[in-house]
Amino acid sequence: MSFLYIFASKSTSSTLFGNHIMLEIGTLNRPRGKKAVLCGSGELGKEIAIELQRFGIQVVALDKYADAPAMHVAYKSYVVSMLDGKRLREIIEAEKPDFIIPEVEAIDTKTLMELEKEGYNVIPTANATFLTMNREGIRRLAAEELGIKTSPYKFAATEDEFRAAVDEIGIPCVVKPIMSSSGHGQSVIKSAGDIDRSWHIAQEGGRAGAGKVIVEGFVKFDYEITLLTVRHIGGTSFLEPIGHYQKDGDYQESWQPQPMKPEVLEKAQKIAEKVTSALGGRGIFGVEMFVQGDEVIFSEVSPRPHDTGMVTMISQDLSEFALHARAVLGLPIPDIAFHGPSASKAIVVDGDSHDITFSGLEDALSIPDTSMRIFGKPSVNGHRRMAVLLARAESVDAARKKVQEMASKIVVTV
């Protein structure tokens, strides 16, 4: 099956060629030049910006703080809370982008949906952004509309509802704000004594502040995966499954490929295709699932590159960011060359500082088939992911050992 989309963007110029739209990209600041606005400018946004710029796309970076990673490479940037719908609209109307690309959860999705109706192209779609940036939307879509198996869950808007939800789901259970990322606001209730603490963690860690939470039944699983799924002009493609390790809900390590039985991988691909088809649009989706024996349980989906997918910067010829750029622009993805077993490890820094330095890079990068990215985030307050280490080897275990060895050589001074 192939997909054909004709965008109604303000300044898009394209020519019909056979059964497809032939992309035309002009030069910077010229009438047929193309522009993308990134709503979120973290480390993932930085890589998206770089890949778009390879095709001559002018990138405008938005984030709530100055000097965010994507701002380092963007043509222009704005410091703005994207929950401020009025200000977000002002920027979009001033910039008139061909593509609006969300990279974080904290966005006024109502404004995005209005802008899309007015002809702006939201990636992958405004509705997909709305559903996935709110755990309630995507969980109800998957479990209640698509009939996909998930963990048992209840939503709660007040502390009384929360306590009732914990009582119904049972202990142990996982608590998350319905809007958060990178583990913020997430906790596990292991005993009745954890209930108060978990409620306060969720209220303090939500992207949009205090609000509704999801209480999930604890799922026993053998392993969890991210199945990166690309919806593009030629159809849907799947990357090799990615295994990962999290701490307090935050990605610490990932590796590719995660060993899976062929029949289990096929089940996972069917779930991923069903969810992403329901969301629609073009781009890369990070579909998270639990695997227990031969059973696959849907967890979450991100309609954009995924943090665990940073491993693809060394494992493939086209990283998840390059694939996202191609899919967004309507360019073909005839194949995806996998270079071999690979691993990534996040460097998470603890402290309170506006002056962070890295050393030991020479020793770390003297290990063959390795790479790293320092994100360039301007400060740390508490704990923050500041860099990622990458390695490729003859096996996943060997690649994971390489990134651990690299980490032992890196010194971060706060």
**CB atoms near residue 125 (< 10 Å):** 20
| Residue 308 annotated in active site | yes
Name the DSSP class of 192. Answer: G
Whether the Cβ atoms of residue 112 and residue 102 lie closer than 8 Å to each other: yes
Alpha-carbon span 58 to 138, nearest angstrom: 31
| Residue 392 annotated in active site | no
Task: Given the residues 26, 33, 85, 183, select the one marked as catalytic.
Answer: 183
Residue 233 host element (H or E): none
Task: Given the residues 129, 150, 181, 370, select the one marked as catalytic.
Answer: 181
CB-side neighbour CA atoms (13 Å) of 117: 7
Whether the Cβ atoms of residue 186 and residue 248 lie closer than 8 Å to each other: yes
Give residue 228's identity as a one-letter amino acid code: L
Task: Given the residues 139, 385, 392, 400, select the one marked as catalytic.
Answer: 385
| Residue 222 annotated in active site | no
| Residue 181 annotated in active site | yes
Facing residues of 389 across strands?
345, 372
| Residue 90 annotated in active site | no
Name the DSSP class of 191. Answer: S
Q: Give the contacts of 249 (CB within 8 A, at least 6 positions apart).
A: 176, 182, 183, 184, 186
Cα–Cα distances (Å) from 234 to 33, 70, 230, in that order, read 25, 29, 10
| Residue 307 annotated in active site | yes
Task: Given the residues 98, 105, 307, 320, select the one marked as catalytic.
Answer: 307
- Length in residues, the chain: 414
Sign of the alpha-carbon dihedral angle for 319, 2, 289, 215: positive
CA 32 from chain centre, in angstroms, equals: 30
Task: Given the residues 300, 304, 320, 373, select the one marked as catalytic.
Answer: 300
Buried b (16+ CB within 10 A) or exposed e, 252-280: bbbbbbbebeeebbebbbebbbebbebbe
Task: Given the residues 288, 319, 330, 373, select the one marked as catalytic.
Answer: 288
Give me the DSSP letters along 44-81. HHHHHHHHHHTTT-EEEEEESSTT-GGGGT-SEEEE--
Alpha-carbon span 237 to 363, nearest angstrom: 37
Question: For the chain, how big is the Rg over CA atoms in Å?
Answer: 21
| Region of residue 339 (phi > 0: left; psi between -120 and 50: alpha; otherwise: beta) | alpha
Q: Which residues are catalytic?
A: 181, 183, 288, 300, 307-308, 385
